[in-house]
Amino acid sequence: MKASQTIISTLRDAPNDAVIASHQLMMRAGLIRKLGNGLYSYMPIGLRAFRKVENIIRQELDNVGMLEMKPTVIQPGEIWKESGRWDKMGAEMLKPQNRGGQDMVVSPTAEEAFTALVRDSLTSYKQLPFTLYQINTKYRDEIRPRYGVMRGREFTMMDAYSFDRDQASLDESYEKAAVAYRAAFKRMGLSTISVKADTGAMGGSGSEEFMVESEVGDDTLILCPGCKYAANVEKASCKPDVALGADGKPQVATDKAVEEIPTPDVKTIEQLTEFLKTTPQAFIKTLIYRVENAGVDLGKEKKFVAVCIRGDLDVNEAKLCALLKASEVELAEEADVIRITDAPVGFAGPVKMTKASVICDNSVMTMHDAVTGGLKKDIHFIHVEPGRDFTPLMTADVRTVQPGDICPECGGTFYSKKGNELGHIFKLGDKYTKSMNVTYLDENGKLSTPIMGCYGIGVDRTLASIIEGHHDDNGICWPMSVAPYQIAVVPVKYDGVMKETADKLYDELTKLGLEVLLDDRNERPGVKFKDMDLLGIPLRIVVGEKNLPNVEMKLRTASDAELVPATDAAERAAAIVQKALAELNA
């Protein structure tokens, strides 16, 4: 492609709303343009990179036997009512009515559509298993779309759905998806971290997120340097540790009975630690939580629980939510705390707590001779022995794991990173096939229900993440596999012998099957070099009169250029491109 025949529309400055590198560079390089809030259009050069990402994903899914199809983007609302998600999806789902007043949906995901289509085609066990996928437009009405295509309202998602007879078969389908994901991300130069995700709210029996490290990541990852342990903080577990006394030794059981002590004006654990001359580990911290739609019986106070944890630790609400099979948990309002604890905020404790059930983090059960709130203003209990002085409804791991905690797998010391989710794989079970009544006849002629897995990769977000990981001060540094063009041929002036040499080189490179952008624009060389750097073309060949019969070859990521005879340049360039692709495919 000659530069004069495509649209190169670079900007010196990124717009003000672009605060992360990928958004800034995609705007500055003219790869995308904004059409509305959270609505980005891919311009011709941007679309080339986008299609490469899309095709790499497609190829790797095809390689493991997944089948591409194409449902409609606009879907009948009735299938969303069948599955029960019509109401649950909330304002994120765009729900136009058609001219007949029928409810429609602009697809935010497609479990329902695939399930409905399979329902019409599936009759026999002989057809199973299969995994269907699409790479198609989705829309989610994010409240605050931001970061350009990283979190847009309209986006392109690869979403796949597997249909299996049983758990063993689902496990295989799931593993195939994981293999395809790993291959695809690797080919695109992305180093992903595979983490176990919190699957609580969505149900299902297993899931994995493919995260990429990012300073602007939405997720916090807990990682072990010693083994492959990696988990979203919402689900991470650490090795249980024994509660220590002020002397640094394990706490020792006491025979003394619980005793009230006055603690005037002492509200925080910090104040209490000072007041009692001990460490936070001596305290049982108790938090009153409001619980929405709990899936387990919470006793008298159906909507509230008292959650106890060792004083130096924090409760992880995602884990608590999963434990209680709830749709949401949040700290109780002050009025509810006062009602439930008969005291102002700051004096809750499990001893003599009668109004709400007590949930204990595992950390509490190794504590002895502990301190806790006295359910009265300015009163604490001391000499508290868990088990003896109170009995929890449940004891479980609801602790927020932190850097410095110990890996349960290998004993390594955890560290933490911010990450963005690029893809996920998820065992759905029969959630949709049951609610939408999908059946098949098994070998014995018996009606059975298949089980599903679902799998997703955000195409736009993957593209943006590649840029996040591959750029410098001058612009994008595309990995060869996803570069919009592999080679830029830049004549210092597109005229005379430089034009001849550049044209010849362009023809030779194109004939070798390479993707070349010839900068034939009538611009100063500096402008052209800057634009090619900003666009991130991996290999640049400069044709300047003073160097002829040599030309200058430079990798985007190299600091120095190399002089090469113009007659050898095409073959040399081809070799460089092939080597780079081979390394990504290896």
DSSP assignment of 111-160: HHHHHHHHHHH--BGGG--EEEEEEEEEE---SS-BTGGGB-SEEEEEEE
Quick check: 132 binds its own copies (CB under 8 A)? yes
Among 117-125, 173-181, 463-471, 499-507, the segment contacting its own copies (CB under 8 A): 117-125
Nearer to its own copies, 77 or 346 (CB): 77
Q: Where are the beta strands (DSSP E) in 405-463?
A: 415-429, 440-441, 447-448, 451-458
Among 127-135, 266-274, 341-349, 395-403, the segment contacting its own copies (CB under 8 A): 127-135
Nearer to its own copies, 114 or 283 (CB): 114
Q: Of 55, 71, 241, 547, which one interacts with its own copies (CB under 8 A)?
A: 71
DSSP assignment of 178-232: HHHHHHHHHHTT--EEEEEPP-TTT--SEEEEEEEE-TT-SEEEEE-SSSS-EEE
Quick check: 525 binds its own copies (CB under 8 A)? no
Q: How far apart are CA 430 and CA 427, in angstroms?
A: 9
Nearer to its own copies, 76 or 240 (CB): 76
Q: What does residue 540 show for φ and ψ, rounded to 5 degrees?
A: -115, 135
Q: Of 19, 59, 63, 67, which one interacts with its own copies (CB under 8 A)?
A: 67
Closest approach of its own copies to the CB of residue 134, in Å:
9
Closest approach of its own copies to the CB of residue 115, in Å:
11
CB contact at 8 A, 157 and 53? no
User: What distance lies between CA 407 and its chain's CA centroid?
Assistant: 22
Nearer to its own copies, 41 or 578 (CB): 41
In three-state secondary structure terms, 578 is helix
Q: Of 70, 249, 511, 546, which one interacts with its own copies (CB under 8 A)?
A: 70
Quick check: 47 binds its own copies (CB under 8 A)? yes
Q: How far apart are CA 518 and CA 510, in angstroms?
A: 11
Question: How many residues are given for the chain?
Answer: 586
Quick check: 40 binds its own copies (CB under 8 A)? yes
Quick check: 72 binds its own copies (CB under 8 A)? yes
Q: Give the pair of three-digit tokens for residue 203.
A: 């149900």
Closest approach of its own copies to the CB of residue 177, in Å:
16
Q: Build a one-symbol-per-residue string for 203-242: x at contacts with its own copies by CB under 8 A, - elsewhere.
A: ----------------------------------------
Q: How far apart are CA 159 and CA 308, in angstroms?
A: 40
Is the torsion defined by CA of 477, 483, 485, 487 positive or negative? positive
CB contact at 8 A, 223 and 438? no
Q: Of 19, 63, 69, 524, which one interacts with its own copies (CB under 8 A)?
A: 69
Quick check: 354 binds its own copies (CB under 8 A)? no
CB contact at 8 A, 555 and 488? no
Nearest in space to 149 (alpha carbons), one of 59, 35, 56, 61? 35
Q: Of 19, 59, 63, 74, which one interacts with its own copies (CB under 8 A)?
A: 74
Among 111-119, 244-252, 321-329, 342-350, the segment contacting its own copies (CB under 8 A): 111-119
Among 3-11, 243-251, 320-328, 362-370, the segment contacting its own copies (CB under 8 A): 3-11
Quick check: 64 binds its own copies (CB under 8 A)? no
Q: Build a one-symbol-per-residue string for 79-98: x at contacts with its own copies by CB under 8 A, - elsewhere.
A: x-----------xx-xxx-x
Closest approach of its own copies to the CB of residue 164, in Å:
14
CB contact at 8 A, 418 and 220? yes
Indicate the helix (H) or strand (E) that contains 518. Answer: strand 516-518
Quick check: 548 binds its own copies (CB under 8 A)? no
Q: Of 13, 16, 126, 546, which one interacts with its own copies (CB under 8 A)?
A: 126
Among 121-129, 327-335, 336-344, 378-386, the segment contacting its own copies (CB under 8 A): 121-129
Among 119-127, 272-280, 374-382, 578-586, the segment contacting its own copies (CB under 8 A): 119-127
Quick check: 116 binds its own copies (CB under 8 A)? yes
DSSP assignment of 458-506: EHHHHHHHHHHHSEETTEE---GGG-S-SEEEEESSSSHHHHHHHHHHH
Residues that bind its own copies (CB under 8 A): 5-7, 9, 30, 33, 35-37, 39-44, 46-47, 50, 65, 67-76, 78-79, 91-92, 94-96, 98-99, 104, 106, 113, 116-117, 120-121, 126-127, 130, 132, 136-137, 139, 141, 143, 153-154, 522
